[in-house]
Amino acid sequence: MIAELGLAVLWMAAALAVLQLVAGVLALRPEGRQIAGLVRPVAVMQGVLVAAALAALITLFLTTDLSVKLVAENSHSMKPFIFKLAGTWGNHEGSMLLWVTIMAVAGGFVALIEKRLPENTLIATLAGQSFVSLGFYAFLLLSSNPFQRLPEPAPEGAGLNPLLQDIGLAFHPPTLYVGYVGLSIAFSFAVGALVTRDVGPAFARAMRPWVLGAWIFLTLGITAGSYWAYYTLGWGGWWFWDPVENASLMPWLAATALLHSCSVLASRNALKAWTVMLGVIAFSMSMVGTFLVRSGILTSVHAFAVDPERGSFILALLAIYIGGALTLFGLRASTVTEGARFSFVSREASLVFNNVMLCGILGIVLVGTLYPLLTEAMGVKVSVGPPYFNPVSAVFAIPMMLVMGVGPLLRWRQDSLDGKRAGRVTLPVGVCALLSAAVLLGVELMAPQIKLLPALGLAIAAGLAPASFLPLRGRNLRRTPLATWGMVFGHFGIAVALFGMASESAFSTERLAAMRPGDTQQVGPYTVKLEGIGPVAGPNWTALEATVSASYAGAAPAILHPQARTFSNPPGNRTESALKTRWNGQLYAVLGEEGEDSRWQMRFWWKPFVPMIWYGGALIAFGGLLALLGRVAADVRRLVATGKIAYRRSRKAQLGVGQ
Amino acid sequence: MNDRTPAKKPGLALWLPLILFAGFFALVIWGLVRPADREVASAFIGKPLPQFDLPPAIDERPGLATSVFKAGKPRLLNVFASWCVPCAVESPQLAQLAGQGVEIDGVAIRDRKEDVARFLAQNGNPFARIGKDDLSQVQLAIGSSGVPETFVVDGKGVIRYQHIGDIRPEDVPMILSKLEEAGK
């Protein structure tokens, strides 16, 4: 019953999306004025209905209703609660439903609260949003119905891919999804603005909270995904330039660029066409990412999501939306008027520089990801890895981070670096630059074995960390807007993460050893001893577990338990690494296979300051959150103020009548 | 420095994103229709098969469990699907191998009973046992990324060779020699 209800409301939501599109398009014509009032309520109702459909699917998973095909294929009655919940979106159909849900709820929310945009632009935006949603409704209802029943109920479910049975991963996909779909709102805003030729500060201000929100979730999703890969895959690395990782990084890069160009457009009414194009590109990258993951066109660790037929469907949607939006852009962008001008030394110029560099990195990652496919088309097989990505992206990343230290200090429109401004800008930045240079020199003199990139990373992090706080200098800290604090934390987070990355590649030590119980090994400052190996069992797995005591520089030992888990339904293996985190780094232990002579393959890494990578990521997201709160608070204040003014006016009018 | 928006000369620059996207589109279309031969050196050679017990894919043949591969004689494990065109192309070669006394077991990926039955009726059925793997779980667990793939498994259940893509007529002697090697 619940499944049928879910399917019914999903159809109704799809029907409302059609209505929203048709009414939206008609309302934009002069003769369709009366219908304009329909668009907002329909968008809200569509969000409510599709949320109900998702709730129905979640209920089915929580109660493990094995008469539903999707539940039988992806869940198991013995699974812990949290993985039953995560099972809802840990599969293709469920994740597509989650996708349309987030999209429709976000659209409903826009319809409910957005009051700043001209009504026409908003209606065009909502129509665009429903147009995009419709493709996904079609996908769900025509080719991947999540509510399909089995002819007869299965006796037991098949379970969830063991790699996905991890708490971090249970929430990694929905986090990224919120990010991707948030960008769809930015996309719809961009399309709406192109349709009505109304690109200006109001458009940027309306779009900015959505971009910020999406960007926060993308940042968190990427950070969590990176940490998950780090401790689950047991390779000791935190970023592999895997196609799927790249697929999540590309929208983030585009969204970061969009965020910055949005603020130029909002404050200075410049970079109009550029901002609109980034709005289109950011969501395009989300869809390209989804396509690359789902189609299996590139081999990757995420191969569990692969199905060529679905890939073709997403590709068709991609062609319609992205091709359509870019065609619209080509036709209309020339009619978007030129924005305000600015000089070479100004905040706008530094933001443009940042944008160009971010797009450069985006291009590098996109080319690198597609390169194996490209060369295969020419008959050569290659695989592209860190030797390409690291140095080539650094070519753009390093200048960008240098300008990041200066840009926030510059004034809008025009600034100078000498005279009165020398004390505010040139001097403090110079001090930070000296700090960087000193660190670089120190590293080269004292540890020449460290490669160039990590050394540069350490140096830039040392300069960027203090430089990111410079915008606060000379300000009344209690009156500094939240958005400024957000920027400070975001930039500081970049420095922290950069420090973690550089330190990881500069100072990590690895030890691979065949050990018998009782053997000891030295790895970095740690002395590790294999105490024993025994079997353990979990709710749906069994494992061999090593007991390792690790003592840091002679201190009292800590006990670690790396495991090699075997899952029974579905069958599969996973290594569960064990981590010991200190303030200055992490010990990483992996249990390998048993050798011929009853010795065990053990791998240990000492990774100084590696957690900084993820602390940095969290800081960046926190910065985004502060900025979002600041923007939203300002909007709410403005709404309240307009409300009050209107109320006073109406009271005055009433009193006037009364006299 | 001017705004990056070219107001006076709209020109080609505005169409550049669309042109790049068209290039991307053409590339992935080609990628989707290309023949599936991805020669990745298998990391699973020398590893034992994981534990699995698949239900039968058709009524006429039993399902497939790991224990079958531990009976002492090398066997072939063929990963196929009724919806896979190269699988149909390789069926004469499988029939030839089966004709020479090689025991072949199949794993049908993401398939329906009636489709598998029709596929085998059209192309011949060289399989002793056929397991049904609806979610590619066993496929992924043995390190196969596409269909068709063929594994040479020795009598102890250890993977000795992984053949990615369809078995061409010229591959048959090589497969036979791998089987012979695995039998030693």
What is the three-class DSSP state of B9? coil
Choose from A6-20, A368-382, A534-548, B169-183 the range with maximum mean pLDDT: A6-20
CB-nearest to A337 from B7, B39, B50 is B7
Rounded Cα–Cα distance for residues A406 and A151 (Å) = 65
Q: How many domains does chain B have?
A: 1
> Up-side HSE of residue B149: CA atoms within 13 Å toward CB?
24
Q: How confident is the model at residue B2 (pLDDT cuts 50, 70, 90)?
A: very low
Rounded to 10 degrees, what is the CA torsion of A219, A224, A229, A232?
Answer: 180
- Per-residue pLDDT, averaged over A405-426, amounts to 80
CB-nearest to B27 from A158, A330, A373 is A373
- Which residues of B are less than 8 Å from A272 in CB distance? 3, 5
**Nearest CA-CA distance, residue A298 and chain B, Å:** 9
The CA angle B17-B23-B24, to the nearest 5 degrees, is: 90
User: DSSP secondary-structure letter at A586?
Assistant: E
Q: What is the pTM of this model?
A: 0.79
Interface TM-score (ipTM) > 0.85: no
What is the tens place of the pLDDT at every residue in A583-618? 889 999 988 877 767 788 888 999 999 999 999 999
Helices assigned H by DSSP within A145-242: 167-196, 201-232
Of B171, B138, B164, B10, nearest in space to A381 by CA: B164
Residue B7 has pLDDT above 50, yes or no: no
User: DSSP secondary-structure letter at A35?
Assistant: G
**Nearest CA-CA distance, residue B75 and chain A, Å:** 21
Classify residue B147: in a domain, yes or no: yes
Rounded Cα–Cα distance for residues B43 and A564 (Å) = 18
Rounded Cα–Cα distance for residues B138 and B50 (Å) = 8
- Per-residue pLDDT, averaged over A193-205, amounts to 87
Residue A480 has pLDDT above 50, yes or no: yes
Q: Could you give the C-alpha distances from B70 to A263, A276, A570, B47, B73, in angstroms and in order? A: 66, 62, 21, 13, 8
Classify residue B143: in a domain, yes or no: yes
What is the tens place of the pLDDT at every residue in A369-393? 888 878 777 766 666 778 888 888 9
**Nearest CA-CA distance, residue B93 and chain A, Å:** 26
The answer, for A316 touching chain B at a CB cutoff of 8 Å, is no
The answer, for A340 touching chain B at a CB cutoff of 8 Å, is yes
pLDDT at B39: 46
Residue B61 has pLDDT above 80, yes or no: yes
Chain B stretch 25-84, residues whose beta carbon is closer than 8 A to a beta carbon of chain A: 25, 27-32, 34, 38-40, 50-52
What is the tens place of the pLDDT at every residue in A334-344? 776 667 778 88
pLDDT at A240: 83
Rounded Cα–Cα distance for residues A580 and A137 (Å) = 46
Q: Do A304 and B25 lie within an 8 Å CB cutoff? A: no
Domain enclosing residue B135, as ranges: 53-183
Largest CA distance in chain B: 79
With 0-12 / 13-18 / 19 or more C-beta atoms within 10 angstroms meaning exposed / middle / buried, residue A159 is buried
- Per-residue pLDDT, averaged over A472-490, amounts to 88
Rounded Cα–Cα distance for residues A96 and A379 (Å) = 35
**Nearest CA-CA distance, residue B7 and chain A, Å:** 5
Q: Using an 8 Å Cβ cutoff, are B105 and B53 in contact?
A: no
> Up-side HSE of residue A611: CA atoms within 13 Å toward CB?
11
In this structure, what token pair is assigned to residue B63? 């399902």
Rounded Cα–Cα distance for residues B184 and B182 (Å) = 6
What is the tens place of the pLDDT at every residue in B82-138? 877 778 888 889 999 998 888 999 999 888 888 889 889 888 899 999 998 887 778
The secondary element (H helix, E strand) that includes residue B24 is: helix B16-33
Chain A stretch 152-191, residues whose beta carbon is closer than 8 A to a beta carbon of chain B: 158, 161
Classify residue B32: in a domain, yes or no: no
Give residue A386's Cα distance to chain centre.
21
What is the tens place of the pLDDT at every residue in B161-182? 888 878 888 888 888 888 888 8
The answer, for B5 touching chain A at a CB cutoff of 8 Å, is yes
Q: Do B1 and A342 lie within an 8 Å CB cutoff? A: yes
**Nearest CA-CA distance, residue A252 and chain B, Å:** 18
CB-nearest to A270 from B3, B27, B145 is B3
What is the tens place of the pLDDT at every residue in A39-71? 899 999 999 999 999 999 999 999 888 888 888
Q: Using an 8 Å Cβ cutoff, are B87 and B166 in contact?
A: yes
- Which residues of B are less than 8 Å from A344 in CB distance? 1
Look-up of token digits 């010229």: B170
What is the tens place of the pLDDT at every residue in A482-507? 889 999 999 999 999 999 999 998 88
Q: Do A280 and B24 lie within an 8 Å CB cutoff? A: no
Rounded Cα–Cα distance for residues A194 and A187 (Å) = 11
- Which residue type, as a one-letter code, is found at position A365? V
As a whole number of Å, the end-to-end CA separation of chain B is: 76
CATH assignment at residue B88 = 3.40.30.10
The answer, for A271 touching chain B at a CB cutoff of 8 Å, is yes
In this structure, what token pair is assigned to residue A469? 């706080």
Classify residue B127: in a domain, yes or no: yes
What is the tens place of the pLDDT at every residue in A74-133? 777 777 788 888 888 877 888 889 989 999 999 998 898 887 788 888 899 999 999 999
Classify residue B44: in a domain, yes or no: no
Classify residue B114: in a domain, yes or no: yes
User: DSSP secondary-structure letter at B108?
Assistant: E
Q: Using an 8 Å Cβ cutoff, are A252 and A176 in contact?
A: no
What is the three-class DSSP state of B59? coil
**Nearest CA-CA distance, residue A412 and chain B, Å:** 13
Of A70, A289, A305, A29, nearest in space to A169 by CA: A305
Classify residue B24: in a domain, yes or no: no
CB-nearest to A312 from B18, B32, B138 is B32
What is the tens place of the pLDDT at every residue in A210-268? 999 999 999 999 998 888 888 777 677 888 888 878 888 999 999 999 999 998 898 88
Fold of the domain spanning A161-342: Four Helix Bundle (Hemerythrin (Met), subunit A) (1.20.120)
Q: Do B29 and A333 lie within an 8 Å CB cutoff? A: no
pLDDT at A514: 87
Rounded Cα–Cα distance for residues A107 and B139 (Å) = 40
A529 phi and psi angles, rounded to 5 deg: -130, 130
Classify residue B20: in a domain, yes or no: no
Rounded Cα–Cα distance for residues A97 and A104 (Å) = 10
Q: Do A326 and B21 lie within an 8 Å CB cutoff? A: yes
